[in-house]
Structure 1
Amino acid sequence: MIHSSLPRLYFLHIPKTSGTAFGGWLRRLYDVEKSFPWYDYHQLSGHTLEEMQGFDLYAGHFGRALPDLLDHPVETVTFLRDPLERLASLIHYTLYEVKLDPENKHGKELQAIRESSHPFEGMAEAAPHVPEFQNGQTHELTKTWPLRRYLNSDNQLDLNLATFRDECETPTAGQQLDVAISFLDTLSAVGICEQSQTSLEQFCRVLDLPLENPLQLERTTQGRKGGAWQQDYWFQRLNPDLKRKLETLIELDRELYQHALTRFETEQRAMTKTISLPPE
C-alpha cells in the first residue's frame, strides 16, 4: 500500500499534454518508495471494480464517473497543454503512426492527413472524422465512464476503449465545456505543460509528495526525431486563414485551457502567500 502520509492518487492522462512524462516521474518516485502497485496507462481491462478499490496510484484515461464509484476518497490531478500545440503534437504523432502503417489499417479517417501535401490542411479536412482532434481535452474530461455497465459475469472490466467512447453520451458543445470546467474545478491540482516544473512543485505541495530530485518534464515530442522542430516549422508555414480554421476546431479546448491557466495562477499566488519559509 501507499506510504501512510501520502493520499491515494489518480492521474487523468490526457494524450499529448506531457502526461507520459509526469506519469514516469510518479513511477520513479514511488518505485523508490517501493510501496505501490503500478497499473497500465491505457486500459482498465482485466481489473475488477473491487481490485480498483485497492489501487493506491492509477494513471490513465478516465472520466468524472470513476471517483464516484470508488469506496475511498482519492486525489485527482491532470495536465493540460496549449490546444494549438497539442494539435500539432497529435498531428505529428498521427503521421508517425501512418508511417509505421502505410496501409492505414487503423482508420480511413486519417486518409486526408496522409494524402495532404500540408499536414495541417489535411487535419482541417479530417477533423470532423477524428474524435481525438475534436476538443480533445474537454472530451477527455467530460466523458462519463459508467464502469458498472461493463462488468462481465466474472466481475471483470472487459471493455474496448473505442467502443466505450462511442457508447458514451455526447453532450452539446456548450454542455461539454460546462461539464469539463466543473470537473476541472473538482481536481486537487491542474498542471500546465508549459509550466511543468512549477506544476510539479505545486503537485508536491498539494499532495504532500516528497520534493527530492523532481524530474524536469520535457515536451512529449522532443524525444522523437525532430518532433519539436518540425512542429515549429509547420507553424511558421501556416497561412492566417488556415490558422483561423484550425483555431475553430479547438475553441472549447481554448476556453478550458484559459480557465485552467487562471486557476493555476491563482493557486500559485495563494500558495506563495501561505507557504512559510524557514528562518535563515
Structure 2
Amino acid sequence: MMKHKLPPIYFLHIPKTAGSSLGQLILCSYPQGSQLNCSLSQLLQMSREEISQFKCFAGHWGTGLFSLLDKEISSITMLRDPFERTVSNCLFIKRIVVKKFASNPLALDEVEDLKLKSDISELLKCTNIREMLNLMPSMKEQQSCYLGCDIDLNEYLGVSQCSLDTLDKSKEIFIENIIAQQLSSGLLDINEIFNKAKQRLDAMEVVGIMEQFNDSAHLICNSLGISTPKNLPRENVSPENLALGNLTYRKSGTIPDDVIKQIDELTVCDREIYEYGKKLFNKQLQTEKRKFFWFKKMFKKSERF
C-alpha cells in the first residue's frame, strides 16, 4: 500500500547491473503515462517541455537527464562488482554481434565461430568484439563515468531528423559516445570523474548493490513509500549468469588469471566507486533495520495497553 504521494524519481541505469529488473519495479509503481523509459535517441527527439511532464524516469542516460529538467529530482542507481559487470557486458556484446551479423551471408562463418567462443580471453581477441568495446567503453570505468561525467544534452536535442517510429537504429546515439568524446577532448580526467561520482552517490536517494538485490529493492520501495512485492521481477538475466547458479564469474574457474588481472587493472576506479557505494548501501540498510526494530518494539508496547 502506498504511504504517500510518489515523488519524482530518476533511475540512473548503469548497464549490466540488474537495472532492467529494478527499472521494471520502479516504473510499474507509477501511474500510466507518468513514466519515461526509452533510448537516448528517443529522449533527444523530445522537447524540454515534453520531458518535464513525466514524473518517473529510467534509462541509460547517465547524468544527462539532469541537464534537461528545470527542477531538482531525486535519483536512484544500482552498482555491481566491476569484474562481474565487465564479464557480463562482454558476453552481452557477443550476443549483439552474433545477432547483428546473423543474417549477413558474408559473415556467417565468423558468426558461427563466435557462437562457439565462451572463453572471455578468446572473446577479447575477436575483431568485432573489440570494435564494440571501443564504441561502448565497458572495460574502462563505466560505472564511474556514468555517475561522474557531467553531460549537457541540450545541444543534442533534435539531433536526428527521423521520427520515433522510423528511427534508424544505425544512427542511434549512446551516452557512451558522448562520454568518450569528452574524455578524448581532455575536458575531464579520471580523478575528477571519480570525485564527482562519489558526490553523485552521496546525493542519491538510494544506492543499490546488485549482489544484494532483494535488500536493495526493499530500500527503494521504502524510499518511494510502496510495499515490496513478494515476487521481485527478474528481467534480462543472461543465460551465462543463470548457468553460474550461486557462483560468480571470478570464482567460476572459467576465466584465466591473466584475463582477471587485465580486467581488474582496467576497472580500478570502478572498484573504488563500488566499495564506496557499498558503504553507503550498508549504512542505509542498517538505518532501515533500526527503524524496523524500533517500530516493532513500539508496537509490542502498545499491545500491552
Same fold, judged at TM 0.5 (above): yes
Task: Report the Cα offset of residue 124 of structure 1.
Answer: 7.8
User: 1:59–1:29: structure 2 CA closer, same or farther, 3 Å change rule?
Assistant: same
Question: For residue 241 of structure 1, what is the aligned residue in structure 2?
Answer: 258
Question: Which one has a bigger Cα radius of gyration?
Answer: 2
Quote the RMSD (CA, aligned, Å). 3.5
User: 1:153–1:270: structure 2 CA closer, same or farther, 3 Å change rule?
Assistant: closer
Question: For residue 83 of structure 1, what is the aligned residue in structure 2?
Answer: 82
Question: For residue 243 of structure 2, what is the aligned residue in structure 1?
Answer: 229
Q: Deviations over 1:153-206 (max 9, x none)?
A: 99x999822653443356222222112111111111111111111111111222
Identity over aligned residues, as a percent?
23
Question: For residue 157 of structure 2, what is the aligned residue in structure 1?
Answer: 151
Question: For residue 25 of structure 2, what is the aligned residue in structure 1?
Answer: 25
Q: Distance in 2 between matches of 1:77 and 1:233?
A: 27
User: 1:236–1:153: structure 2 CA closer, same or farther, 3 Å change rule?
Assistant: closer
Is 1:174 aligned with 2:188? no
Question: For residue 36 of structure 1, what is the aligned residue in structure 2?
Answer: 34
Q: Distance in 2 between matches of 1:96 and 1:159?
A: 18
Q: Distance in 2 between matches of 1:234 and 1:171?
A: 35
Q: Distance in 1 between matches of 2:250 and 2:154?
A: 46
Question: For residue 265 of structure 1, what is the aligned residue in structure 2?
Answer: 282
Tell me how many residue pairs correspond in the alignment.
Answer: 266
Question: For residue 277 of structure 1, what is the aligned residue in structure 2?
Answer: 295
Which stretch of the first structure deviates more once superposed, 226-235 or 77-86? 226-235
Q: Deviations over 1:230-274 (max 9, x none)?
A: 674994132323321221111111111000011110111122223
Partner SS, residue 267 of structure 1 = helix
Task: Report the Cα offset of residue 5 of structure 1.
Answer: 0.9
Which stretch of the first structure deviates more once superposed, 212-221 or 198-207? 212-221
Task: Report the Cα offset of residue 151 of structure 1.
Answer: 3.2
Q: Distance in 1 between matches of 2:251 and 2:98?
A: 18
User: 1:179–1:207: structure 2 CA closer, same or farther, 3 Å change rule?
Assistant: same
Which stretch of the first structure deviates more once superposed, 190-199 or 45-54? 45-54
1:167 corresponds to which letter in structure 2? Q
Q: Distance in 2 between matches of 1:232 and 1:258?
A: 18
Q: Distance in 2 between matches of 1:262 and 1:133?
A: 24
User: 1:266–1:227: structure 2 CA closer, same or farther, 3 Å change rule?
Assistant: closer
Partner SS, residue 22 of structure 1 = helix
Structure 1, unaligned runs of 5 or more? 106-110
User: 1:264–1:47: structure 2 CA closer, same or farther, 3 Å change rule?
Assistant: same
Q: Distance in 2 between matches of 1:95 and 1:252?
A: 25
Contact 1:80 1:190 in 2 (8 A): yes
User: 1:148–1:159: structure 2 CA closer, same or farther, 3 Å change rule?
Assistant: farther
Is 1:164 aligned with 2:173? no
